Amino acid sequence: MHTLTRDDIEQAARCVYQVMPATAQYAWPLLAERLGCTVWVKHENHTPTGAFKVRGGITFMRWLKQAHPNVRGIVSATRGNHGQSVALAAAAAGLRALIVVPLGNSVEKNNAMRGFGGEVVEFGRDFDEAREEAARLAQTQGLYLVPPFHFELVKGVATYALELFTAAPVLHTVYVPIGCGSGICAVIAARDALGLDTQVVGVVSTEAAAAKLSFESGSLCETASANTFADGLAVRKPIPEAFERYLAGAARIVSVDDAEIAEAMRVYYTDTHNLAEGAGAAALAALMQERGAMAGKKVGVILSGGNVDRTVYAKVIG
């Protein structure tokens, strides 16, 4: 996977902006008061699918149509946000989209994927088993398997980092949640393309800490389970290409538990009246954990998505 240049990311942005506008980033005063530092929130909860992934979906489908002009459809595995992204982007590109989710997946996310034109299949006990089924369906149904991590996805996602760094160019640290890794790799790529010194800190769940364990040992580690309500973080094993990138480019990886994530969801609501899903609130949870070290600094947090089921959110807010 080659290095992204500023020109690569600006080209991707022009492609993304044909489908959606740039999202906002705000330095919220009540968060600053609460945490003792300037907190820039990147609002990826305000995209057409309610999460950052749509950007990569748009650039990926454009690349796919050029690289494989005879492709009829795609298949991919997801817990929800990636699936909504590829469903929307595939529909816009005139392609069939088959999305594999684990059994018992979020009903609201499944409905959203169908709403964007995707066909949803439930299979397996978790994301990793759904991924294996997606690979099988690609073979049997002649569909293109969209991976959870790919250069074109990172290029699209890097457009949010370009927006953030352009609006708030002197950030000391940016906290980014890690699922399959396109988010953190995109932030690292944009930082490097712009020649900035910003520290990039990854955030995982204590219940799905494979990326942190791998980062700290320097080699790929897998966990037996990934039982967190923050489904965007619920990954048992890192994607090797993504791991290589954040091993080289991240400052550290912080883990937050479900209680810390829930508290950050409440803080987002109280201080900014924004809806954050579990993974979306993880970056703020990590900043809250490290507030002492960040005192007086300018910090960015990625609110990566707001797609949380009503029943889950009601419980958290209550």
> Per-residue confidence at 136, pLDDT binned at 50, 70, 90?
very high
Q: What pLDDT score was predicted for residue 180?
A: 92
Answer yes or no: do 84 and 231 share one domain.
Answer: no
Answer yes or no: do 140 and 160 share one domain.
Answer: no
Q: What pLDDT score was predicted for residue 239?
A: 94
State yes or no: pLDDT of 2 exceeds 90: no
Answer yes or no: do 40 and 176 share one domain.
Answer: yes
State yes or no: pLDDT of 127 exceeds 90: no
Answer yes or no: do 23 and 85 share one domain.
Answer: no
Q: What is the pLDDT of residues 61-83, one digit of tens each?
A: 999 999 999 999 999 999 888 89
**Are the beta carbons of 304 and 232 closer than 8 angstroms?**
yes
The answer to whether the Cα torsion of 277, 122, 242, 166 is positive or negative is negative
Q: What is the pLDDT of residues 231-266, one digit of tens each?
A: 899 899 999 999 999 999 999 999 999 999 999 999
Q: What pLDDT score was predicted for residue 169?
A: 83
Answer yes or no: do 287 and 185 share one domain.
Answer: yes
Answer yes or no: do 163 and 126 share one domain.
Answer: no
Q: What pLDDT score was predicted for residue 81?
A: 85
Answer yes or no: do 65 and 48 share one domain.
Answer: no
Could you say which DSSP state residue 257 is in? -
Domain ends where: 99, 119, 145? 145
The mean pLDDT value of the chain amounts to: 95
Answer yes or no: is 94 within a domain.
Answer: yes
Q: What pLDDT score was predicted for residue 1?
A: 63
Q: What pLDDT score was predicted for residue 148?
A: 82
Q: What is the pLDDT of residues 263-312, one digit of tens each?
A: 999 999 999 999 999 999 999 999 999 999 999 999 999 999 999 999 99
* pLDDT cut 70: percent of the chain above it: 100
Residue 202, CA distances (Å) to 16, 98, 292 in order: 25, 30, 18
Answer yes or no: is 26 within a domain.
Answer: yes
The answer to whether the Cα torsion of 51, 110, 86, 138 is positive or negative is positive
Answer yes or no: is 1 within a domain.
Answer: no
CA distance linking residue 22 with residue 20, whole number of Å: 7
State yes or no: pLDDT of 106 exceeds 90: no
CA distance linking residue 179 with residue 164, whole number of Å: 20
Q: What pLDDT score was predicted for residue 31?
A: 98
Domain ends where: 98, 117, 145? 145
In the structure encoding, which two tokens stand for residue 274, read together? 């924004």
Answer yes or no: do 155 and 247 share one domain.
Answer: yes
State yes or no: pLDDT of 143 exceeds 90: yes
Answer yes or no: do 76 and 180 share one domain.
Answer: no
Structural domain containing residue 207? 6-52+151-317
Answer yes or no: do 214 and 92 share one domain.
Answer: no
Domain ends where: 127, 145, 163? 145
CA distance linking residue 90 with residue 39, whole number of Å: 35
**Are the beta carbons of 98 and 141 closer than 8 angstroms?**
yes
State yes or no: pLDDT of 134 exceeds 70: yes
Answer yes or no: is 138 within a domain.
Answer: yes
Answer yes or no: do 162 and 27 share one domain.
Answer: yes
Answer yes or no: do 82 and 188 share one domain.
Answer: no
| Helix or strand (DSSP H, E) at 136 | helix 127-141
The stretches of 170-220 forming alpha helices (DSSP H) are: 182-194, 210-217
Could you say which DSSP state residue 79 is in? S
Answer yes or no: is 85 within a domain.
Answer: yes
CATH number, domain with residue 90: 3.40.50.1100
Q: Which amino acid does the sequence have at 183? A: G
In the structure encoding, which two tokens stand for residue 230, read together? 């923050």
Q: What is the pLDDT of residues 183-233, one digit of tens each?
A: 999 999 999 999 999 999 999 999 999 999 999 999 999 999 889 999 899
Count of the separate structural domains present in the chain: 2
Answer yes or no: is 97 within a domain.
Answer: yes
Nearest to 212, CA basis, from 228, 183, 221, 184: 221
Answer yes or no: is 40 within a domain.
Answer: yes
How many other C-beta atoms are found inside a 10 Å radius of the C-beta of residue 1? 14
Answer yes or no: is 127 within a domain.
Answer: yes
Q: What pLDDT score was predicted for residue 79?
A: 84
